[in-house]
Amino acid sequence: MLLSCKEATALIEKKAVFPLTFKEKCRLYVHVKMCVVCNLYRHQSQTIEKALSKWINFEGSPEERLPAEKKAQILEKIKED
């Protein structure tokens, strides 16, 4: 059974945090190969994830780093939700 775009985007986001099962990986792979929009969404999601990881983990040049104050604000906001 094919995934809907809604299910595919949910798996794309899940993959950023948790490992997918073999079945989920296969279904997502097939859907993304057929759906241009979900493929673009996957690429954008990965780009955002990499940028956030860089800023939060203080990788990259000083200009790219997230200031400590902003990091604390983001973490506090996450805890509130």
Q: Could you report the per-residue pLDDT of 31-54, keeping only the tens digit for each?
A: 999 999 999 999 999 999 888 877
pLDDT at 51: 82
Residue of 32, 43, 34, 33 whose CA lies nearest to 8 = 32
Q: Could you report the per-residue pLDDT of 5-40, keeping only the tens digit for each?
A: 999 999 999 998 899 999 999 999 999 999 999 999
pLDDT at 25: 96
Task: Please tell me the pTM assigned to this model.
Answer: 0.65
Give the ranges where 1-81 is alpha helix by DSSP (H).
5-17, 22-34, 36-56, 68-80
pLDDT at 32: 96
pLDDT at 77: 82
